Amino acid sequence: MKTVLITGCSSGFGLEIARHFLEQGWKVVATMRSPRSDLLPPSEHLRLLALDVSDAASIAAAVAQAGPIDALVNNAGIGMLYPLEATSMETVRSLFETNTLGTIALTQAVLPGMRSRGAGVIVNVTSTVTLAPLPLLSVYTASKAAVNAFTESLALELAPLGIRTRLVLPGRSPTTRFGENARPRMQGDTPAAYAPLMASVFGGVRGGGPVTHGQDVAQAVWRAVTDPASPMRIPAGADAEELAASLA
């Protein structure tokens, strides 16, 4: 039985990915900053571990406790929808610390084990905003675009060792806590000149049209992990697939 370690399982995509792999009979190591046993169904194949991807000691402890890992899913991330001018550099650094450096650090931590076994899959969850940029998301987009470049370069580095890397790119999701979690970072002194743009963008976020659901992302990650012939970039969700097709 194979084992997958998934980050950011307290809600949203990570929680759905963990459920999906459990249903498919995998051993699941579900990580989150503050583990909660009520989020996933009890299973002898489930382990809940505390993990802060921005903390080196936390990463080392989680990887040591998890044991051999066949697949790593870097899903943990934080967001922000705000003008750059009103965003502190402390906030900018926090986004990159979690979204970019956390992904790199955890990947680095699991590589010795995968290399010794000559097999493994690393799936990094980013976003379709890296394909079609949107206003007010410059820092978030930059942090995720960096992961895209990292993943594609790393694929060339690891292929001779029997290790695959893939990207899953979700679209807009009304079912995640992106906005709720981002709100504390959206506290800068915003010049009035940005008010019309912010009203337009926030209205669009709440608007209709195709969206991405948690199960869409879970299925895309499953494909990335289990199908060696899957493409490097896998869009997840009706809106993501529509966008990817328009850019093809």
Catalytic residues: 140
Per-residue HEC secondary structure of 32-56 comes to ECCCCCCCCCCCCCEEEEECCCCCH
Q: Tell me which DSSP letter residue 160 carries.
A: G
Q: What are φ and ψ of residue 137, in 5° steps?
A: -120, 25
Sheet with 233-236, side-by-side order of all strands:
46-50, 27-32, 3-6, 71-74, 120-125, 163-170, 233-236
Here the tokens at position 170 are 């979700």
What gap in Å lies between CA 220 and CA 170, rounded to an integer?
9
Here the tokens at position 91 are 């906030």
Return the closest-CA partner of residue 51 out of 90, 2, 109, 94. 109
